[in-house]
């Protein structure tokens, strides 16, 4: 199995950008119908209720914006969702809608164990947001990998994490060292278990 590597999108690919914009807006409105959306940058929209994060938690805001810029430079459309917390348990839902899918953002600088832990947490956050919603099933995890874990090792670790999970979505991994972005469906990763 070969992952799909995505290079930055040519600026003239307007059809894909338009499709991503429509899917993302439709899902953001379905999840939070009363929310107002504010455009911060090209292809990046933020829930008005989340705008205070920019000054309240500036380091977190900068990190999340740098993560999504990796994707928007390739034609993705991003909607930062309202931040919802559960007392004592921290943030319980995914960060964004990207190209029509609920997507949790993570940055990993540790080893394979850390990668697995962060993926599991991101997977649960996405699953919590789509649970019980008619017509919304897919949820994805985007990891910006700062450590030098190999592509094969990353793929095998995430495949193992998905072994007993049945959700639909994508695992998106940006390898900071090489500048490569790889995307696998959860089904593609499950298929390599035992091979």
Q: What sign does the CA torsion over 85, 109, 140, 65 have?
A: positive
Q: How far apart are CA 165 and CA 160, in angstroms?
A: 10
**The residue to which tokens 């003239």 are assigned:** 12
**Cα separations (Å) of 83 from 21, 39, 95, 164, 168?**
21, 17, 7, 28, 23
Which pTM value belongs to this model? 0.89
Kindly give the confidence (pLDDT) of every residue in the chain, 195 residues in length, as a single tens digit, with 9 standing for 90 and above.
445 555 444 444 667 677 888 999 999 999 999 999 999 999 999 999 999 888 888 999 999 999 999 999 988 999 999 987 665 555 678 999 999 999 999 999 999 999 999 999 999 999 999 998 888 889 999 999 999 999 999 999 999 999 989 889 999 999 999 999 999 999 999 998 855
CA 61 to chain CA centroid, Å, is: 15
Determine the Cα angle at 178 with ends 138 and 160, to 5°: 40
**Cα separations (Å) of 66 from 38, 39, 41, 86?**
18, 16, 12, 26
């Amino acid at each position: 199995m070969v992952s799909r590597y995505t290079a930055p999108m040519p600026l003239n690919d307007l059809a894909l950008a338009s499709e991503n914009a429509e899917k993302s807006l439709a899902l953001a409105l379905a999840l939070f119908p009363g929310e107002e959306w504010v455009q911060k940058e090209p292809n990046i929209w933020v829930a008005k209720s989340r705008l205070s994060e920019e000054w309240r938690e500036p380091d977190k805001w900068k990190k999340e914006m740098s993560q999504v810029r990796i994707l928007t430079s390739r034609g993705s459309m991003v909607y930062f969702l309202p931040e919802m917390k559960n007392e004592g348990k921290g943030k319980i839902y995914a960060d964004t809608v990207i190209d029509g899918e609920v997507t949790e953002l993570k940055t990993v600088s540790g080893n394979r164990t850390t990668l697995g832990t962060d993926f599991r947490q991101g997977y649960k956050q996405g699953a919590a947001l789509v649970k019980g919603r008619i017509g919304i099933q897919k949820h994805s995890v985007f990891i910006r990998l700062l450590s030098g874990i190999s592509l094969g090792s990353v793929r095998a670790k995430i495949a193992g994490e998905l072994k007993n999970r049945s959700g639909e979505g994508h695992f998106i991994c940006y390898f900071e060292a090489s500048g490569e972005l790889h995307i696998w469906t959860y089904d593609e990763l499950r298929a390599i278990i035992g091979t």
